[in-house]
Structure 1
Amino acid sequence: MNVEQLNAGLSEVREAHRFDEGALRAWLRDHVPEAEGELTVRQFRGGQSNPTFRLDTAGRSFVMRRKPPGVTVPGAHAVDREARVIGALGKAGFPVPRIYGLCTDDAVIGSWFYVMECVEGRVFWNARFESVAVEERPAYFDAMNATLAQLHNFDPAALGLDDFGKKGNYFDRQIARWSRQYLSDEAAGRDANMDRLIEWLPANIPPGDESRIVHGDYRADNMVFHPVEPRIAAVLDWELSTLGHPLADFVNHIMMYRLPPAILSGLRGVDIAASNLMPEQDYIAAYCRRTGRDGIDHIGFYRAFALFRLAAIYHGIKARALRGTAASAHAEELAAHYPLLAQLAWSEAEAALTKGND
């Protein structure tokens, strides 16, 4: 199955994620006046971490994101953080859904959740933009590029997000975080490439540091495009957002060029010129121009880190699938890619050793 077949559309609420819909309806009545009348709840097929639901009422539709039921890894599934960053960015004019309410009372439906606007538009499940006219595709790439640059140009303090994460030593902290989650979740087992990366990455962090708001999972299928224009109407899925190094966020995004189609519908092996997609080097140059950079040194490290982090996320998906708490019904199929991601990450580390700063 491709990523669209795995994730597109809605289904009945899965057995593992069912909750008291009457309790939710009562909460909406008290906290979201716009949610009037009968309530219909369906679950989005996509989403590997926080289960996501469409809430249809008499006059309006909403989206609910909740923590998954059961035991969760400390620090993960922070829906309160998602709601906070979305709310702050929306006030600054960044394209995100409107937040209607956050519930931190487990007694309502069994876990914390928030309700936001259901933004109508187009979701492209891969960066090939195959349903878009060939001559228009560069404009869609440029929209993704410009929107991420806009995010990274914000001053967190000006948005009231100066305390949204720790400042400084971003890579030290991130490597430690994902290493800890990988090592603590024994259900999915160990991988020799991951073990090598846990040693190599901390010893090869580039000099210098920056602190900006980072999305953490910025890719084509985590955004809603305008119904007819090459413009982003809403950026979704802010679970991994924090204060961090913008180059980590950007290089994680451009992994679309390095990943095979089987993993997040990557572009590896795609004829970029024939598909009229923006070449990787042009994409990097456009981002650097928009953020006032001369270029990106040490990009090999950033690539290895991005793939290590993604491998750690897939390791968590595999563990949740084995425990029966995964948000997606197709978690086992996705988790099968985990060893390849670890291999690709170590390959980038080896290439960085050979090429130096790239």
Structure 2
Amino acid sequence: MTNFTTGPNKAHDASLLSSLAEWLQTAAPQIGAPINLDKFSSGQSNPTYQLQTDLGEQDGRFVLRTQPAGLLLKSAHAVDREFRVMKALDKTAVPVPEMIAACDDPDVIGMKFFVMREIEGDTLFDPALAGYAGADRHALFHAKIDVLAALAKLDPIALGLEGFGKPSGYIDRQLGTWTRQYHASETEPIAAMDFLLAELPNYIDEDVPGFCVIHGDFRLDNLLIRDQVKIAALIDWELSTLGPAFIDLSYWCAMLRMDAKWPIGGLGGIDRASLGIPDETALVAAFCAKTCLERPANWDALIAFQCFRFAAILQGVLKRHLDGNASADNAA
């Protein structure tokens, strides 16, 4: 079910719609004239809106995705990269929305943005998939592996993504990037984070097989689900880059280890077998079988690395909330 915000932001949305309409007349006249804009309630990082045009209820449904207002961290909120990678993935086995047009000029509506076609699908947040039959849970988890494997098998250079990410040194760069992002968003000292920052470089290395497009935030609520078990689209590519093939899988598996009360939610303490959900070993084995890649020897270190990323991301959400720049209503 789609949830929208209401209230005081409506005046801002009307002004935004007017500025956007003028730009679309030249950039994408084929989608018709915008007539309504509603902000989705989800989405902590980049504000996202349902855009309705005069082409009709179905044909005229699009999505506007923008950078947030306020001072932005360097390299964060990269909507231009989102547009580029999803456009490159069009007509591949990785399901993404159709890209319409992008604007790098912040003077048009006050920030960078892009427009894409809206995809019908449900956004789910409960990793235990309450209400699902065991067989359907099993099927959806393996459908997610299918998407990750399809992404891992694509040649980034053949997709036109040369220069989208460097061919080596991904993990070292990520450690540096997320360390800087964390410190830039730090609100108080946290001993556990200081420990991770000091110890991770001693346990993790670049010995991870494969080189592919990385989504960067592969979790359940970044998928649009249709008919319970079909993945209609993988969205929110803000953190995408190029790097080792097991990065997205380790991110997802680390998330599933977390307690269900964790801000994003995991399966920690839940009997997966009783729900029909494959365990981590089975998920990794399925990915390896579909990609012909071997499980990395430093798998546990990858999991720890992903936990650090989660913490840095959540710290950024908290900082934006405290600064009054949070995109979603539930940032607190």
TM score, norm. by length of structure 1: 0.85
> Deviations along 1:73-125, whole A, 9 cap, x unmatched?
01101110000000001143421000000011111110000000100022222
Tell me the amino acid that sits aligned with residue 134 of structure 1.
Answer: G
For residue 11 of structure 1, the aligned residue among 5, 11, 21 is: 5
Query: Which sits farther off after the overlay, 232-241 or 159-168?
Result: 159-168
> Deviations along 1:138-197, whole A, 9 cap, x unmatched?
1111100011011011111110112101221111100000101112334x2221111111
Percent of aligned pairs with the same amino acid: 37
Helix, strand or coil for the counterpart of 2:273?
coil
Query: Does 2:41 align with 1:45?
Result: yes
For residue 26 of structure 1, the aligned residue among 22, 27, 45 is: 22
> Taking structure 1 as reference, are residues 38 and 240 closer, same or farther at Cα in structure 2, changes over 3 Å only?
closer
Helix, strand or coil for the counterpart of 2:290?
helix
Tell me the amino acid that sits aligned with residue 33 of structure 1.
Answer: P
Helix, strand or coil for the counterpart of 2:70?
coil
Residue 192 of structure 1 corresponds to: 191
1:271 positional shift: 2.2
Alignment of 1:228-243 (within 5 A): 228=227, 230-243=229-242
Helix, strand or coil for the counterpart of 1:75?
coil
Query: Does 2:257 align with 1:258?
Result: yes
Q: 1:34, 1:129 → 2: CA distance?
A: 39
> Deviations along 1:288-331, whole A, 9 cap, x unmatched?
11121333322110111000011001111111111000111111
Alignment of 1:42-191 (within 5 A): 42-58=38-54, 59=56, 60-186=60-186, 188-191=187-190
Helix, strand or coil for the counterpart of 1:273?
helix
Tell me the amino acid that sits aligned with residue 205 of structure 1.
Answer: I
**Structure 1 vs Structure 2 CA RMSD:** 1.9
> Taking structure 1 as reference, are residues 13 and 25 closer, same or farther at Cα in structure 2, changes over 3 Å only?
farther
Q: 1:46, 1:153 → 2: CA distance?
A: 31
1:199 positional shift: 1.3
Q: 1:51, 1:66 → 2: CA distance?
A: 5
Tell me the amino acid that sits aligned with residue 178 of structure 2.
Answer: W
Residue 298 of structure 1 corresponds to: 298
Aligned length: 324
Structure 1 unmatched ranges of 5 or more: 333-358
TM score, norm. by length of structure 2: 0.92
Are 1:65 and 1:113, in contact at CA under 8 Å, matched by a contact in 2?
yes
Q: 1:325, 1:13 → 2: CA distance?
A: 17
Are 1:14 and 1:43, in contact at CA under 8 Å, matched by a contact in 2?
no
Helix, strand or coil for the counterpart of 1:102?
strand
Are 1:156 and 1:213, in contact at CA under 8 Å, matched by a contact in 2?
yes
> Taking structure 1 as reference, are residues 273 and 14 closer, same or farther at Cα in structure 2, changes over 3 Å only?
farther
> Deviations along 1:23-46, whole A, 9 cap, x unmatched?
111222222224324511111111
Structure 2 unmatched ranges of 5 or more: none
1:66 positional shift: 0.3
